[in-house]
């Protein structure tokens, strides 16, 4: 039996890569049912100040196609407590690059009051959508 019943994680999942796959796989190993929030284009623009390369609806289809994912929902804001109120998960999975961030310290405090755990997974070193974009831009310039 897995330690958690319902798990939740979120992301942009732009230029889907092995780091994304790792967090989804590790999350599913710890929960019976995994819900994944995919950030809308508008939300990404709001807090990252850039548009994703892959449009929202295509990113949703990619994440839905991953065997570790049981349900995909829209992430229209960064309010994780509101997500919990709607989805009733008992654990949230996050990359450890967020550990110590004021946003997640606040979320940890809120979740501790309602019995929700946060599990931090090691960030996959050397792989990120930003790095992939930079490599693509470099290769295009060289050609």
Catalytic residues: 48, 50
Q: CA–CA distance from 106 to each of 88, 102, 114 (Å)?
A: 18, 6, 13
Q: In what order do the strands lie in the sheet with 117-121?
A: 71-75, 31-39, 4-11, 91-95, 117-121
Torsion sign (Cα): 23, 35, 6, 1: negative
Closest CA to 128 of 9, 18, 39, 8: 18
């Amino acid at each position: 039996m897995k330690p958690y019943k319902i798990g939740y994680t979120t992301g942009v999942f732009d230029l889907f890569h092995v780091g994304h796959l790792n967090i989804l796989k590790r999350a599913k190993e710890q929960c019976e049912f995994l819900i994944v929030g995919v950030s809308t284009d508008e939300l990404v623009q709001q807090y990252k100040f850039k548009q994703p390369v892959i449009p929202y609806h295509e990113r949703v289809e990619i994440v839905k196609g991953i065997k570790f994912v049981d349900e995909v929902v829209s992430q229209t804001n960064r309010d994780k407590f509101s997500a919990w109120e709607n989805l009733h998960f008992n654990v949230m999975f996050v990359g450890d690059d967020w550990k110590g961030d004021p946003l997640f310290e606040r979320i940890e405090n809120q979740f501790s009051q309602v019995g929700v755990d946060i599990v931090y997974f090691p960030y996959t070193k050397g792989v990120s959508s930003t790095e992939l974009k930079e490599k693509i831009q470099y290769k295009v310039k060289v050609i």
